Each structure stands twice: as C-alpha cells, then as structure tokens.
Amino acid sequence: MNVAVERLDSEWVDSWCKRVSAALEPLMPSFLETHVFPPGENAIALATDESHGATGALVDLTPIPSDLTTLYWVISEISLPDIENGYFIHSPATVAEHFREYGAAEVDDESPGVVFASDGGGHLFAVATSGRVWRSTTAAWFDDFEGAAVSIQEFLEQISQRIADQS
C-alpha cells in the first residue's frame, strides 16, 4: 500500500526535539521511585559540524532516504534507554559503519533499508527509500522486518507518545 507522505521538515524535527526534552525533564526525577533503579542518560544530541560531515559520508556510501538526511541535519543521535525498553537513533557515523559491515536490510518488497535505530531489546529499525520505517522481528540483522511507521516523522511521534504514556 503506497501512502503519500510529506517529506520530513527540519523545523519540525527541531520542534520535536524541544518537546521531547521538555517531556523527559519531569519524568526522570521520579524514575528511581517508580523503577527502583536510577535512570540512564536520556539525551538528544544535536547535530554538529562533525555529524554533518558523517552524514555527507553516509550519503556518499549509499543513497539514504532524504528524511534520514533531514533528521541528521538536526540531530546527531538520540539515546532514550528509559522509554519502554529503550530507543536509540544511531549517529550517522555508526549507521555508515554498520552499513559497511552488514549492508542494507531487506525490507519486504521495498528497496533495501538503511538501519538507523534500535530498541533496548536489540530490534533494529530501518528506513527504506520510500521513507517507511521497518522493525526487525527478532534481535538480528538479517531476519524479517515488519512495518513500524509510514515515515520517520510518524516513528518519532510514536516515541513521543511512549514518553507521554510513562508520565
């Protein structure tokens, strides 16, 4: 099923980062009481000149979806170990390293995907050139992938909802 999706906008990503950071702030002080162990470092690392260079190198390595380029223009990486089982958006340098080591992920009948994120259970998230986000069905690079979101924006909105559900 092909669904027309608007391309990711860097201003929207910037706004999302601010909303998520604000939502995390009151959540972490009560984390220890709720979970009986201290929270990890939940952080959004904004893009730097170095991460922009790594994004350029990733683009040279493989034709990554434009939404991933847009995402990496705003952020370098995201680490949310305390949201559900954890969510991690890998840095562009890590994505390039993994691509060189493992290649593209085979995602259904779409073009191969670029793995850009994972969860705390070892499942991987890949984005295809269509912009759809796919999740591995097991904690393995070469297993099946199932649809997770129609776009990176929807994927980020799902993470926002999981943060809201924890408050």
pLDDT tens digits along 12-26:
999 999 999 999 888
| Maximal C-alpha separation, the chain | 47
Its pTM stands at 0.90
Strand ranges for the chain from DSSP E: 43-46, 75-80, 87-89, 114-119, 124-127, 133-136, 145-149
Report the distance separating Cα 110 and Cα 144, nearest Å. 13
Average pLDDT over residues 34-41: 74
48-87 tens-digit pLDDT: 999 999 999 999 998 788 999 999 999 999 999 989 889 9
Report the distance separating Cα 50 and Cα 56, nearest Å. 10
| Helix 10-27, helix 66-74: angle, nearest 10 | 50
Better pLDDT: 2 or 127: 127
| Helix 49-61, helix 92-102: angle, nearest 10 | 30
